[in-house]
Amino acid sequence: MKAETLLLAVGIEAGYGRVQVLWGIDLAVLERETVVLLGANGAGKTTLLKTLLGLVPAWRGAVRFLGEEVTAWRTDHRVRRGMAYMSETAVFPGMTIEENLLIGGQFLSGSALRRRTGELYAIFPALGERKRALASSLSGGQRKMLGIAKALAGDPRLLVMDEPSAGLSPLFVKEVIRVLEQFRSRGLTLLVAEQNVKFLELADRVYTLEGGRIGFAGTVAAMHENDALKRAYFGLK
Ligand code: ATP
């Protein structure tokens, strides 16, 4: 059976004021796929993710999610429909662990939210042990775990993540990848913007973003066969 296209972006152009950042982006994420969007600082990754979520308006082009055109939808409507977004900062530091999860799952009914937070505390026991601690009291790595739990609290179909590795030690990067692998095996669909090629371990497909344009789109294996990409992203001669 052919996998359903969960997210489809066609011809996306966007920017800030008069400055255009994205130039005709086409991108698709299929159901249960993990797609990594690889790009250097300033390539436009955050802008693209925010445009997909409706946090930055698209100047031109269309975004479709679960078969519906959502280009003009407000962000909260997209989230209710099943999108979740984890920004680089990921959590509200002045709120407790529990409050962060309740905000992440705010569109669920009371009983569904209780069930979901229970599941998440079972997956992240370190969070469950300290529900009333402020997020600001957590280490960088634990905060990132809370960010993932918060983004997943609403039980989304698609998790869109902006640089989950930012500010993390290599050990925690490994831990984040391990946790995402777990959710992926339970059927979660992921779109992850990263500079860290370690995340390609998770990827079914890769897009590279260069100066606001898609450079390469394909499998990780195809990327490895391309010498120019290998030099640019893996530092190989
Ligand atoms: P990073 O890894 O640094 O977050 P990125 O690939 O996510 O990089 P963006 O944050 O999308 O890139 O930035 C793309 C371009 O848009 C950059 O030139 C940046 O300076 C510019 N830009 C980003 N946010 C704004 C804003 N709010 N107003 C004006 N320009 C912006």
236 pLDDT more than 80 = no
Burial code of 71-93, b = ≥16 C-beta within 10 A, e = fewer? bebeeeebbebbbbbbbeebbbe
What pLDDT is recorded for position 232? 80
Residue 29 φ/ψ region, left for φ over 0, alpha for ψ in the -120 to 50 degree band, beta for the rest: beta
Regarding whether 161 and 52 lie in a shared domain, the answer is: yes
Regarding whether 97 and 69 lie in a shared domain, the answer is: no
Domain at 30, CATH number: 3.40.50.300
Regarding whether 164 and 118 lie in a shared domain, the answer is: no
For residue 224 the two structure tokens come to 């490895």
Asked whether the beta carbons of 177 and 164 are under 8 A apart, the reply is no
Q: What is the pLDDT of residues 85-137, one digit of tens each?
A: 999 888 999 999 999 999 999 999 999 999 999 999 999 999 999 999 999 99
49 pLDDT more than 60 = yes
Distance from C-alpha of 31 to C-alpha of 7, rounded to nearest angstrom: 8
Q: What is the pLDDT of residues 152-190, one digit of tens each?
A: 999 999 999 999 998 888 888 998 999 999 999 999 999
What pLDDT is recorded for position 2? 67
What pLDDT is recorded for position 169? 87
Distance from C-alpha of 42 to C-alpha of 65, rounded to nearest angstrom: 26
Give the residue whose CA is nearest to atom 22 of ligand 1.
16
Q: What is the pLDDT of residues 183-215, one digit of tens each?
A: 999 999 999 999 998 999 999 999 999 999 999
What pLDDT is recorded for position 225? 86
Regarding whether 150 and 220 lie in a shared domain, the answer is: no
Q: Is the CB of 42 under 6 A from ligand 1?
A: yes
Q: Is the CB of 34 under 6 A from ligand 1?
A: no
Distance from C-alpha of 68 to C-alpha of 57, rounded to nearest angstrom: 17
Burial code of 100-114, b = ≥16 C-beta within 10 A, e = fewer? bbbebbebbeeeebe
DSSP state of 134: B
pLDDT more than 90, % of the chain: 82
Run of H or E residues at 234 = helix 227-234
The residue with greater pLDDT, 227 or 148, is 148
pLDDT more than 70, % of the chain: 98
Spacing, Cα 88 to ligand 1 middle (Å): 13
Indicate the residue among 128, 155, 182 that finishes a domain.
Answer: 155
Give the residue whose CA is nearest to atom 14 of ligand 1.
44
CB atoms under 10 Å from CB of 214, counted, come to 20
Q: How confident is the model at residue 224 (pLDDT cuts 50, 70, 90)?
A: confident
pTM across the whole model: 0.93
What does each C-alpha distance from 70 to 31, 39, 84, 88 come to in angstroms? 17, 25, 14, 24
What pLDDT is recorded for position 108? 92
Ligand 1 atom at shortest distance from the alpha carbon of 193: 7
Q: Is the CB of 159 under 6 A from ligand 1?
A: no
Beta bridge partners of 10: 62
Run of H or E residues at 158 = strand 158-162
Regarding whether 167 and 233 lie in a shared domain, the answer is: yes
Q: Is the CB of 44 under 6 A from ligand 1?
A: yes
For 95, the domain range is 91-155
Overall domain count for the chain: 2
Q: Is the CB of 46 under 6 A from ligand 1?
A: yes
Indicate the residue among 129, 155, 181 that finishes a domain.
Answer: 155
Regarding whether 148 and 128 lie in a shared domain, the answer is: yes
Pocket test for ligand 1, best of 12, 18, 19, 162 (most atoms within 8 A of CB): 19
Half-sphere exposure of 83 (CA within 13 A, CB side): 28
What pLDDT is recorded for position 167? 85
- How far does the chain reach from its first CA to its final CA, in angstroms? 40
